[in-house]
């Protein structure tokens, strides 16, 4: 984002302009302001560029036009000036602002280390501001009265120093703490954040692929071993950033890792990475979750020099824990690419806005038990956990939140590496005792009639139902939607055809007088067999056998979900709202092709359909480079399969989902401050519920409610 400060001369204009802007915005809030340079030149190196102060606070402002690594030299000057000011005014709280075109990651890391070193101080923190963020902030201060954004509120921004991890996050902190009611700013920040996030993710995936290759080149892992070690390193970085956010030392930056190496006596052997990983594995929460086992380790020959050169240094530009950058999700995509899997929509990655929308649509309650039987990196589970815990209040809130995290969220994935990623993701999001298992999501019989809500995006492509692990009972009885051939009817048709031929042969035999007895006996045998088969058919005792060998994954998971969901989730609700909830992403072929007509009959037999949200073909392109036409199906399990649905179904087509095919942020029609599909669904639901007379849905009354569909054009 271009700022008015970008074009200014660093020698004679930049500091002077920023000084005047600070004067206009902060003098009326009680600060005195001084520029240590002159009208025609910048401040000398031995003094801060600008100072602002009152009786309680003293803030130095350092301004530069240097970019990227050229800004490294600025940090030492900022630190020296800040310490000098503190010595000069020991009774005041002293802070520093660093204003530059963009804050390079090495400067961010240096500032972060300074702020953490001063965590026990109530001051001495440094806040980096890029030109565009400073422009937004100072313009709002200039254009508002001093009552609107008082001095203490501005000073309080420094207390959020743990979130000073990149320019986007800093702007978000300022927006949330200083300008929480500015919805336009909030929306613009979201768009900027989404655009920057996509660029970062692409770079991160590229860097992770290079890391995996480096591991193989140096023979620290081959094939699946290398990607596992990539996952370990990403998790160590996340774990240490999580420690850092809790005010503890991050042992996985270059400087701190070398200190840890020295502390562990590994300066010569250079095996500190092994020591660090073992210490992490001893974390009681991780042990309780059985997240890492004895078999999770690096090759003994892997040394610290490789770790520093090929991971710590190149990946120091990324910060995973307090930003949107999903390190584990990126590792997930790399896993898919390198394992040769078809990284198509639904097979690997679900766009964030789809996850958020489905969680909102589900209207989760803090008491719900939730399952994702094809969980990937557990995005549905982490967002659901956040949603459910946010709805908890009261004196037992902490205990209830712990129950949600520990006992109410379940996920499975049949890929061991993916299941490990999911466990790591759940732990990082606050669930150290997660219920993530390496299991086939179609074989979770122990969940039958125990789940309140299923949120999932199973593989959209074809899945086989003829695996060795699927027994005959599973194929013939449990999975009703699997196509089956009526063996009894087939035999009956064949016998009837054979009988016709035998009777013809018998007529010829009677003409010639040869083999008459033989054909009469055969005709009688076939007539008896046909009679037996017709009796079985009339009694409904026909035998069936599975035909084909695969079908779309979503259809198989719908059948499995029918078993897992409770028939009655809320006994006090209206009949069509009592059962367990299913929210699933489906290939639209399941919903509209002749091949899947039996699946649709199954859905109507066992579920009340609440909504079908058709998604644009481009929805999954940013994460899969493949256009797959999909829909979100929202349905509730029936407790009486014979009951016919009375209520209408909510239909919507979504053309924009917040990210276009070029991975740029765009309009989000799913949810967006009231002008969206979610709001229209809630209006629809409200009018449906208001249309009941007792337990009878009155369609006339619903029509009188005058629910209006239409287009969302904003």
| Kind plus residue range of the DSSP H or E element containing 200 | helix 183-217
> Which pLDDT belongs to residue 347?
44
With vertex at residue 664, the alpha carbon angle to CA 663 and CA 668, rounded to the nearest 5 degrees, is 105
Burial label, 528 (beta-carbon count in 10 A; 0-12, 13-18, 19+) = exposed
> Which pLDDT belongs to residue 339?
56
654 contacts 354 by C-beta, under 8 angstroms: no
> Which pLDDT belongs to residue 674?
67
> Which pLDDT belongs to residue 624?
58
- Residues whose CB is less than 8 angstroms from the CB of residue 467 and which lie 6 or more positions away in sequence, other chains included: none
19 contacts 62 by C-beta, under 8 angstroms: no
Q: What is the mean pLDDT of each run of 10 residues along the chain (714 residues)?
A: 88 95 96 94 93 96 88 88 96 96 91 90 95 93 92 94 88 89 76 69 86 89 80 92 87 94 95 96 87 88 95 91 73 67 48 90 97 92 94 92 93 87 86 85 97 94 91 91 83 87 90 88 90 86 81 95 98 96 95 94 98 84 67 97 96 82 73 82 95 94 86 62
> Which pLDDT belongs to residue 640?
97
What CA–CA distance (Å, rounded) separates 530 from 524?
Answer: 10
**From residue 597, how far is each of 208, 449, 482, 558, 647 by CA, in Å?**
43, 26, 12, 14, 21
> Which pLDDT belongs to residue 669?
83
277 contacts 295 by C-beta, under 8 angstroms: no
392 contacts 404 by C-beta, under 8 angstroms: yes
544 strand-pairing partners: 486
Centre a 10 Å sphere on the Cβ of residue 637 and count the other Cβ atoms it contains.
Answer: 25
Q: How many CA atoms lie within 13 A of 492 on its CB side?
A: 17
What CA–CA distance (Å, rounded) separates 282 from 273?
Answer: 14
User: pTM of the full predicted structure?
Assistant: 0.76
165 contacts 319 by C-beta, under 8 angstroms: yes
Sign of CA dihedral 190, 195, 199, 202: positive
What are the tokens at 642?
């014979």
> Which pLDDT belongs to residue 455?
98
Conformation bin of residue 651: beta by default, left when phi > 0, alpha when psi is -120 to 50: beta
**Residue among 150, 156, 353, 321 nearest 241 (CA):** 321
Q: How far apart are the first and last CA of the chain?
A: 24
- Residues whose CB is less than 8 angstroms from the CB of residue 256 and which lie 6 or more positions away in sequence, other chains included: 249, 250
What CA–CA distance (Å, rounded) separates 60 from 82?
Answer: 7
Helix boundaries (H) for 544-628:
553-564, 589-592, 597-606, 621-624
35 strand-pairing partners: 50
What CA–CA distance (Å, rounded) separates 102 from 192?
Answer: 14
Long-range contacts of 40-48 (CB under 8 A, 24+ apart): 40/12, 41/11, 41/12, 42/10, 42/11, 42/12, 42/14, 42/15, 43/15, 45/77, 47/81, 48/81, 48/85, 48/96
What are the tokens at 265?
């006596």
Centre a 10 Å sphere on the Cβ of residue 386 and count the other Cβ atoms it contains.
Answer: 13
The counts of H helices and E strands in the chain are 26, 21
**From residue 147, how far is each of 2, 26, 402, 578 by CA, in Å?**
30, 12, 41, 51
What CA–CA distance (Å, rounded) separates 551 from 460?
Answer: 10
**Residue among 42, 71, 30 nearest 50 (CA):** 42
Conformation bin of residue 411: beta by default, left when phi > 0, alpha when psi is -120 to 50: beta
What dihedral angle (degrees, nearest 10) is formed by the CA atoms of 620, 625, 626, 627?
A: 50
């Amino acid at each position: 984002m271009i700022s008015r400060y970008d074009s200014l001369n660093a020698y004679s204009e930049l500091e002077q302009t920023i000084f005047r802007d600070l004067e206009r915005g902060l003098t009326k809030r009680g600060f005195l302001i001084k520029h240590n340079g002159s009208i025609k030149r910048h401040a000398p190196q031995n003094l801060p560029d600008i100072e602002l102060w009152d009786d309680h606070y003293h803030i130095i402002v350092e301004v530069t036009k240097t970019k990227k690594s050229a800004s490294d030299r600025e940090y030492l000057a900022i630190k020296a000036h800040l310490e000098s000011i503190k010595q000069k005014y020991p009774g005041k709280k002293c802070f520093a602002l660093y204003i530059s075109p963009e804050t390079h990651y090495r400067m961010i890391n240096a500032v972060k280390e300074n702020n953490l070193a001063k965590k026990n101080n109530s001051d001495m923190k440094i806040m980096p501001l890029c030109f565009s963020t400073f422009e937004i902030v100072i313009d709002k201060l200039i254009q508002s009265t001093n009552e609107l954004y008082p001095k203490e509120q501005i000073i309080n921004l420094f207390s959020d120093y743990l979130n000073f991890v990149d320019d986007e996050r800093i702007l978000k902190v300022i927006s949330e703490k200083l300008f929480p009611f500015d919805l336009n700013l909030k929306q613009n920040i979201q768009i900027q954040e989404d655009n920057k996030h996509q660029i970062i993710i692409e770079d991160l995936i590229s860097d992770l692929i290079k890391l995996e290759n480096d591991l193989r080149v140096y023979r620290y892992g081959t094939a699946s071993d290398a990607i596992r070690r990539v996952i370990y390193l990403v998790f160590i970085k996340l774990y240490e950033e999580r420690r850092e956010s809790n005010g503890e030392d991050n042992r996985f930056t270059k400087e701190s890792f070398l200190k840890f190496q020295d502390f562990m006596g590994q300066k010569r052997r250079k095996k500190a990475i092994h020591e660090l990983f073992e210490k992490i594995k001893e974390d009681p929460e991780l042990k309780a979750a059985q997240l890492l086992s004895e078999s999770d380790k690096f090759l003994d020959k892997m040394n610290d020099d490789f770790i520093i050169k090929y991971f710590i240094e190149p990946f120091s530009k990324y910060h995973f824990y307090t930003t949107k950058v999903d390190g584990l999700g990126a590792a997930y995509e790399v896993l898919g690419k390198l394992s040769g899997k078809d990284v198509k929509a639904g097979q690997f990655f679900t766009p964030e806005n789809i996850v958020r929308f489905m969680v909102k649509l589900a209207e989760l309650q803090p008491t719900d038990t939730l399952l994702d039987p094809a969980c990937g990196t557990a995005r549905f589970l982490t967002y659901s956990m956040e949603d459910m815990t946010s709805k908890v209040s009261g004196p037992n809130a902490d205990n209830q939140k712990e129950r949600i995290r520990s006992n109410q969220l379940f996920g499975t994935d049949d890929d061991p590496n993916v299941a490990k990623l999911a466990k790591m993701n759940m732990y990082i999001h606050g669930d150290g005792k997660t219920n993530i298992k390496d299991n086939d999501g179609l074989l979770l019989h122990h969940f039958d009639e125990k789940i309140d809500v299923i949120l999932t995006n199973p593989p959209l492509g074809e899945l086989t139902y003829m695996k060795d692990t699927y027994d005959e009972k599973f194929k013939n009885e449990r999975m009703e939607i699997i196509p089956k051939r009526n063996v009894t009817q087939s035999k009956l048709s064949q016998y009837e055809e054979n009988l016709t031929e035998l009777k013809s042969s018998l007529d010829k035999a009677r003409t010639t007088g040869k083999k008459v007895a033989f054909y009469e006996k055969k005709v009688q045998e076939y007539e008896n067999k046909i009679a037996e088969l017709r009796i079985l058919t009339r009694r409904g005792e026909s035998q069936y056998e599975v035909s084909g060998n695969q079908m779309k994954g979503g259809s198989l998971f719908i059948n499995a979900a029918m078993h897992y969901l409770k028939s009655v989730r809320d006994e006090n609700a209206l009949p069509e709202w009592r059962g367990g909830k299913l929210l699933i992403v489906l290939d639209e072929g399941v919903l509209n092709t002749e091949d899947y007509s039996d699946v649709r009959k199954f859905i109507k037999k066992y579920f009340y359909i609440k909504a079908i949200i058709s998604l644009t073909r481009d929805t999954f392109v940013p994460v899969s480079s493949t256009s797959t036409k999909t829909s979100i199906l929202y349905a509730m399990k029936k407790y009486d399969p014979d009951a016919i649905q009375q209520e209408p179904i909510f239909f919507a087509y979504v053309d924009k989902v917040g990210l276009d095919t070029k991975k740029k942020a765009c309009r989000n029609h799913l949810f967006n401050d009231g002008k969206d599909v979610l709001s229209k669904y809630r209006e629809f639901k409200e009018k449906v519920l208001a249309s009941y007379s007792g337990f009878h849905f009155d369609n006339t009354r619903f029509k009188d409610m005058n629910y209006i569909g239409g287009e969302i054009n904003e």
